Amino acid sequence: MSYETITVEQRDNVTLVTLNRPQALNALNSSVLEDLIDAFAAFEADDGQGCLVLTGAGEKAFAAGADIKEMADKPAADFYNEDFFARWTSHLVKATRKPWIAAVNGFALGGGCELAMMADFILASDKAKFGQPEIKLGVAPGMGGSQRLTRAVGKAKAMEMCLTGRMMGAEEAERSGLVARIVPHEDLVEDAVKTAKTIAGMPPMAAKVNKEMVNAAYETFLDQGVLHERRLFQILTATEDKVEGMTAFIEKREGEWKGK
Ligand code: HXC
């Protein structure tokens, strides 16, 4: 399948999606959204694919934000009536139960930072820069940034970044808990694909359940989250992959997974 604004490549059991509007620093317009929705749905439906990596084409940017040129003349009523930005969450976050990684290779600003934070975790190149500069355009984050950034780095840093528009470099982002790991720029995609292959090699149902559990920590109180975790754990003990995983450990060999 070929797309106008992204490229999609399968590396064994890993889907590599690259935002491909480098002339606009991979700004996120409606076509990018439609292409991503399609690519993510294909990934989710393909039993041969276990993890997805999202990165940006070009030397400078993961994505420099929602496309300002597309939004500049749009009437407020259209933003509301179209529920503008809702489909990013419903399709890329809610509908994607398999794990995916954002490999941030440069600017991740505004909607670009918000898109990266929709991923299950972020791997950052040493050139990555994160920010929510929407305030300088007279607006504010609209794709979950004020919520996800605050949960990731805490109120003080999130508030400072949203109110000043200041960017955070890779070192600070790692120190603050926004990114899982920093990778040398030139190795970023290969490292992310390797990490994704590790995940794709795990028992598929356990991968989805682990993702669901960690996400529950964001969405529930501790008591409910711990109960939710325990119930999901108990369900996993009924799978064939649990029997295989524990047997393989005892027999000192690699497990062979069935996804059930
Ligand atoms: C559309 C963009 C863009 C964007 C960059 N470009 N960001 N086009 N939307 N978000 C385009 C520029 O217009 C330019 O096109 C080309 O990409 C290269 O950008 P330059 O500015 O020339 O590059 P540089 O000088 O290196 O500066 C890089 C930059 C700057 C610091 C990242 O581009 C920048 O500040 N971009 C905007 C970042 C931003 O505000 N993002 C948040 C958007 S709002 P031409 O054709 O001139 O060569 C958002 C959510 C809003 O995401 C929610 C509202 C409801």
- What pTM was computed for the model? 0.94
Q: How far is the CA of 147 from the centre of ligand 1 (A)?
A: 23
Domain 6-201, classified CATH 3.90.226.10, yes or no: yes
Cα separations (Å) of 255 from 4, 122, 159, 215, 238?
A: 40, 28, 46, 26, 16
Question: For 136, left (φ over 0), alpha (ψ -120 to 50), or beta?
Answer: alpha
Contact 6, 17 (CB under 8 A): yes
CATH architecture of residue range(s) 204-251: Orthogonal Bundle (1.10)
Contact 104, 130 (CB under 8 A): yes
Please say if 59 is a catalytic residue. Answer: no
Residues of the chain with CATH 1.10.12: 204-251
Reply yes or no on whether the pLDDT at 65 is more than 90. yes
Please say if 134 is a catalytic residue. Answer: yes
- Distance between CA 236 and CA 216 in Å, rounded? 16
Residue nearest to atom 46 of ligand 1 (CA): 24
Whole-number mean pLDDT of the chain? 96
Residue 129, exposed/middle/buried by CB under 10 A (0-12, 13-18, 19+)?
Answer: buried
* DSSP category for residue 14: E
Segments in the chain forming alpha helices (H): 30-45, 68-71, 76-81, 86-87, 111-118, 145-153, 155-164, 170-175, 188-200, 204-219, 222-236, 240-250
Mutate to test the pocket of ligand 1, among 68, 88, 104, 137 (most ligand atoms within 8 A of CB): 68
Q: What are the tokens at 25?
A: 């620093």
Strand partners, 58: none
Query: What ipTM was assigned to the predicted interfaces of this complex?
Result: 0.97
Please say if 111 is a catalytic residue. Answer: yes
The three-state (H, E, C) secondary structure of 190-201, written as one string: HHHHHHHHHHHC
What is the model's pLDDT at position 228?
85
- Distance between CA 162 and CA 152 in Å, rounded? 14
Angle at 68 (CA atoms; ends 66, 73), nearest 5 degrees: 125
Reply yes or no on whether the pLDDT at 233 is more than 90. no
Q: Residue 165: which pLDDT band, with cuts at 50, 70 and 90?
A: very high
Residues of the chain with CATH 3.90.226.10: 6-201
Q: Residue 109: which pLDDT band, with cuts at 50, 70 and 90?
A: very high
What is the model's pLDDT at position 219?
84
Q: Which of 66, 102, 128, 170 is catalytic?
A: 66
What is the model's pLDDT at position 225?
82
Digit-coded pLDDT (tens) for 167-179 = 999 999 999 999 9
Contact 108, 62 (CB under 8 A): yes
Q: Which atom of ligand 1 is nearest to the CA of 25?
A: 17
